[in-house]
Structure 1
Amino acid sequence: MKKNYSYIGISFIILIFGIWAIPKIVDHYSEPDLAVIGTVPDFSFTDQNGKTISNSDYKGKVYVAEFFFTTCPSICPIMNQNMVKVQNEFYGNPNLGIASFSIDPDYDTPEILRDYANSYQITNPNWHLLTGEKVKIFDLANSGFNLYVGENSEVEGGFEHSGYFALIDQEGKIRSRYDEHGNPIIYYDGLETEGIQMLIEDIERLIEN
């Protein structure tokens, strides 16, 4: 019986290509690149331990940024309870940092921030609760991150701000995943379980790169 060797050869090539290509296709659709939203501008503030912290302290680390204040009566407690979950998910990993910028620096001194850190069981040495000149912190939020903060005597607590977290890579670039329509989500919802899970997954992806 005469064998069709050319057919067998072609089939073998298709099989080999398929084995090589399938993981590539799966990876392409399940692990798309994270969007680059922008670059965090230079900053320098004082943390809960009285230490000056700047961009250079986060270089080479993946970190999460938020804007909050310690006397916030509404969303801040939820945000920081969720941020502690992120901290604990990466317990002992030196490649994760967190930057919590106080929008009420007149009240939130390093001593106040240290007590706040203790009350929330903040243990990651790379989680810095930062205070400094209000004008500079507001400018960093509104112009640097495009995360609105402001003063408003008519709202509870006297300040307005969002509940979003920003994800920053090792080079200081703000990153995010894409939604189902191919648009970057830009920031992660710090108030919702789904947003926190997405954030944890994307931190892992950046750290592994």
Structure 2
Amino acid sequence: MGLSEGDLRAGLDALATIEPAFGAALARVGYPAPRIRPRGYATLLRTILGQQVSVKAADAVWRKLAERQGDPADPATIVSATDEDLRACGFSRQKAAYARHLADEVTSGRLDLANLAADDEEAIAQLVRIKGIGRWSAEVYLLFAEGRADIWPAGDLAVQIEVGRILGHAARPGERQVRELAEAWRPHRGAAAIFTWHHYGATGDAPL
């Protein structure tokens, strides 16, 4: 489960004390809503399905999988499906391969999503072993599904843009600079990330 509303507010209040520019931004746009996803296989499968397509298109594939093959939240559904079955549900060849790898890792026990490493970097390393799951997807999963309070997806373009805006930089800081700037915000960087996405939407751009 992701950061609760109370945890998110507490993290942002602490962040506003550490970095007054965040306090000023918080006064302008208010607190963000929590971003919470279920922990486990289904959320990671949805992450794979959602890559490079609209939410509507990903939802359509999920529905077809449910109608034709069974519960999409059960990895056995992917394991038992043929390549033709998955293509009929709207999977590309690449996404079918990614989904099969994820399902195999879970059903074999090599990946235990209920017991990922407590250390954030170790947990990210466990997740990026899955084909189709990169660092950004792993970080967002740990933040939204596990509520890890200090996850910091510094490679995210919206995070970079809004850190620059909030702190008054003339140009968008790069990933390395954003990581360095956020060192002072530990252990509240997860709340900071959620706030940057909220600020991104509130200032006229499309939200994450």
TM-score (norm 2): 0.25
Q: Please state which structure has a larger fraction of its residues in helix.
A: 2
TM-score (norm 1): 0.25
Q: Please state which structure has a larger fraction of its residues in strand.
A: 1
Larger-gyration structure (1/2): 1
